[in-house]
Amino acid sequence: MRSLLTSMTALAILTIFGMPSQASEKDIVDTAVSAKSFNTLVAAAKAAGLVDTLKSKGPLTVFAPTDEAFAKLPEGTVESLLKPENKDKLASILKYHVVAGKVMASDVVKLKQAETVEGSSVKIKVKDGSVMINKAKVLKTDIDCSNGVIHVINTVLMPPMKQAEVRQRLEEAVASGAALYNSGHHEQCADIYANAMTQLMAETISGLDRHDVRQMQMILTIAENQHHAGRRAWILRHGIDRMYTLSAR
């Protein structure tokens, strides 16, 4: 689970990010509010019903995306997540930013991964002198709070898509596409299959490794170069079936 860096590398990381600050009387939520750079995160925590959790005794470690990090999401994403009907999805995303316990920078750089309260793990590595949490860069560390610690990141972390959700979306695509194919609308069928695969490939899917991803990308490329709509639809259907099998492992 853990891989110790050399003491020199660890010291360099701590030098870049600074040493731990003195204990704060403010909890995680109040600290985030007073910082004035986590307005979207605080609004999301309220919408997801997680304020009490983040104000609890803890201790908790929060990888906190800045307002700029949320602004990098596709247009309309934040507004959609804040809707009441998306409360569970929003809560899952936010929980993916929280680790049980107080993990300071000196501990973070010793880890390869950390399990979040969402249930999935984030990957941790040092790249070009910066600590990366998945694809997010740590901007500032060790913002001490009365019930834990905040590390600031520049990208919103998205939890891996669960296999059951992947299969459901594939089944929906097949149902819609097959109906179109059988009624002679081969091009529209192929488009539905291609869109489903492309959208899922943009996600981090639990259980799929790099080899699996390359397979799916190859199938999409082959289909794109096929000008016969019917054949293109069947190539993509085989890709969907393959993705379904992989997600069911």
**Are 143 and 181 contained in the same domain?**
no
Q: What angle do CA 48, 160, 57 make, to 5 degrees?
A: 45
Instruction: Look at residue 2 and tell me if it is in a domain.
Output: no
Note whether residue 158 is domain-resident: no
Residue 236 sits at the vertex; the CA angle it makes with 197 and 182, to the nearest 5 degrees, is 115
Do 98 and 186 share a domain, yes or no?
Answer: no
Q: Verify that 195 and 145 share a domain, yes or no.
A: no
Backbone angles phi, psi at 31, to 5 degrees: -65, -45
- Domain extent at residue 169: 163-247
Task: Tell me: do 89 and 180 sit in the same domain.
Answer: no
Q: Which residue in 126, 119, 87, 91 sits closest to 105, CA to CA? A: 126
* One domain for residues 134 and 181: no
Whether residue 103 is found in the same domain as residue 129: yes
| Residue 90 is assigned to a structural domain of this protein | yes
Q: Is residue 185 part of a domain?
A: yes
Among 153, 174, 204, the domain-final residue is: 153
Question: Do 86 and 63 fall into the same domain?
Answer: yes
State residue 208's pLDDT score.
63
- Residue 204 shares a structural domain with residue 109: no
Q: Considering its fold, how many domains does the chain have in total?
A: 2
81 and 48 in one domain? yes
Task: Give pLDDT, residue 11.
Answer: 37
End position of a domain, from candidates 110, 129, 153: 153
**Paired residues of 151 in beta bridges:** 63
One domain, residues 149 and 167: no
**Residue 1 placed within a domain:** no
Domain contains 128? yes
105 & 170 share domain: no
Shared domain for 137 and 218, answered yes or no, is no
| Residue-level pLDDT at 141 | 86
| SS3 call for 122 | strand
**Residue 52 falls within a domain, yes or no?**
yes
pLDDT reported for residue 109? 80
Q: What is the pLDDT of residue 206?
A: 57
Of 157, 147, 109, which is closest to residue 32 (Cα–Cα)?
Answer: 147
Does residue 88 sit within a domain? yes
Single out the residue in 153, 180, 207 at which a domain terminates: 153
User: For residue 53, what is the domain's CATH number?
Assistant: 2.30.180.10
Q: pLDDT of the chain along its 249 residues, tens only?
A: 444 343 334 434 443 444 444 456 788 998 888 888 899 999 999 998 989 889 888 799 999 999 999 988 878 888 888 888 889 889 989 999 999 999 888 888 888 888 898 888 888 888 877 888 888 899 888 888 999 899 999 989 988 777 777 888 899 999 999 999 999 999 999 999 998 888 887 766 655 667 887 888 899 999 999 999 999 999 999 999 988 887 766
Global confidence as pTM: 0.66
